[in-house]
Amino acid sequence: MSNNPLPEPDFGLDDIPANPPVHYAEQALLGALLLDPHRIKTIGPLGPEHFVSAGHRALFAALASLTPPAPALHAREPVWITSVLGHARPHARGLTPAYLHTLAGSCPDPAHAPAYARMVRADHARRTIRVHAELLIQAATDPSLPDPATLALRRADALASNFDDLAASFPSHPGPLPRTPPPPPPSRDAGPDVASEEQLLLSTAVAHPASLPSMRWLRPEDFTIPLHGALYRCLTTLANRGEPVDEVTVLWEAQQHGLLTASFAPQDALKLLATAAGSPEHWGEQILRRSLLHHAHTTGLHIQAYAQDPANSPHQVITGSRRALADLTAVRVRWQHATGQPTAAGPRTRPAPASRAGPPTTRANAPTASTRSSR
């Protein structure tokens, strides 16, 4: 057997990825402004940051800052191209006179400069939304962050603000929804810590059922483990009907909901509901926080998918993304109600309330009605 490593495959021209359409729109726009510099007055709001290429950004900055020559001089001598190149080259060393002539030849018609500018703005809008979505995903999934829920909501606010800024630049049109199918929701971590906290919520709520009416901000779908969410629905159903809540009544209700199976027998249910610790509100907040981050992650993935699809117009991306944010907002309102945060959108202006965990409570020292109402 030979010990000689296999040769590396050659990198050919076919391996170079094709330029996206916006590359040619940028070239056509810059070519139009090189051929007819006075066209810059017709292209609307545009800045160097709208361009993908660093060289194109430097060229547009030069085109926008320099005073065009007189039309007669421009038609007779290449003073405009020379001036633009001299101004842009310190910021993009790879620029050459030949490339500027290539740009001029890439413009089908200088009169179409406003259309080329709209293409550049549209692609920049899509890239900006994608970056905001990636920041939202990072905030929702980075375990090293000290307060991921607060950061995720701030990222969501930044997205919403970005949509408001962009909406005025891209008028609506028929067929506003994105054609991109949203990706499936990400899987949720159902590790031992998650299961333990959800079990503690159930057992502690059984021990202190008087807390359930004040915990309407928590819903069964917030639970990571579906069985735990279904058991919580049994608890809230009993409480809403004004019936007694204890291990046996919850077991009976679980039977009525078809939750008892060979893998989850009555003894398993009684054992799960037997050990109480802390307060229901504390464990409920942990569950709702995970649900909030899961919805933020899902929202970010949806918006990212819409923005990555070049077939979607900016208006379609904005419309679909706002719908995705609305799902996150519904969970956000419940989170703010649970934690006592301001309900208005925007970064929080006061620190988060202290944790409600405290020392473990028992049936003997359960919170009184007056202390619960003060919460």
127-148 pLDDT, tens digit each: 999 999 999 999 999 989 899 9
Q: Where residue 44 sits, what CATH number does that domain have?
A: 1.10.860
Kindly state whether residue 371 falls inside one of the protein's structural domains.
no
pLDDT, tens digit, 9 for 90 and up, residues 62-116: 999 999 999 889 888 989 999 999 999 999 988 999 999 999 999 999 999 999 9
**Do 172 and 30 reside in the same domain of the chain?**
no
* pLDDT of residue 24 exceeding 50: yes
Q: What is the mean pLDDT of residues 240-269?
A: 95
Residue 205 is encoded by which pair of tokens? 């709520």
CB atoms closer than 10 angstroms to residue 166: 21
Could you tell me the residue range of the domain that residue 35 belongs to?
Answer: 20-108
Kindly state whether residue 356 falls inside one of the protein's structural domains.
no
Kindly state whether residue 354 falls inside one of the protein's structural domains.
no
**Do 181 and 225 reside in the same domain of the chain?**
no
The pLDDT score that the predictor gives to residue 2 is 54
- The number of domains in the chain is 3
Kindly state whether residue 366 falls inside one of the protein's structural domains.
no
* pLDDT of residue 261 exceeding 90: yes
Confidence band for 14, pLDDT divided at 50, 70 and 90: low
Cβ(299)–Cβ(129) below 8 Å: no
How many helices (DSSP H) and strands (DSSP E) are in the chain?
A: 14, 0
The pLDDT score that the predictor gives to residue 305 is 96
Confidence band for 330, pLDDT divided at 50, 70 and 90: very high
Burial classification of residue 147, based on how many CB atoms lie within 10 Å of its CB (0-12 exposed, 13-18 middle, 19 or more buried): middle
Residues near 185 by Cβ (< 8 Å), separated by ≥ 6? 294, 298, 301
**Do 127 and 267 reside in the same domain of the chain?**
no
Kindly state whether residue 164 falls inside one of the protein's structural domains.
yes
**Do 95 and 151 reside in the same domain of the chain?**
no
Kindly state whether residue 344 falls inside one of the protein's structural domains.
no
pLDDT, tens digit, 9 for 90 and up, residues 43-76: 999 999 999 999 999 999 999 999 999 988 988 8
Four-residue CA torsion sign, 240, 212, 216, 300 = negative
Boundary (domain end) residue, out of 250, 280, 310: 280
Kindly state whether residue 231 falls inside one of the protein's structural domains.
yes
**Do 85 and 135 reside in the same domain of the chain?**
no
The pLDDT score that the predictor gives to residue 342 is 64
Better-scored residue on pLDDT, 362 or 326: 326
Mean pLDDT, the chain, whole residue set: 87
Kindly state whether residue 12 falls inside one of the protein's structural domains.
no
**Do 204 and 65 reside in the same domain of the chain?**
no
**Do 246 and 321 reside in the same domain of the chain?**
no
**Do 293 and 272 reside in the same domain of the chain?**
no
**Do 204 and 274 reside in the same domain of the chain?**
yes
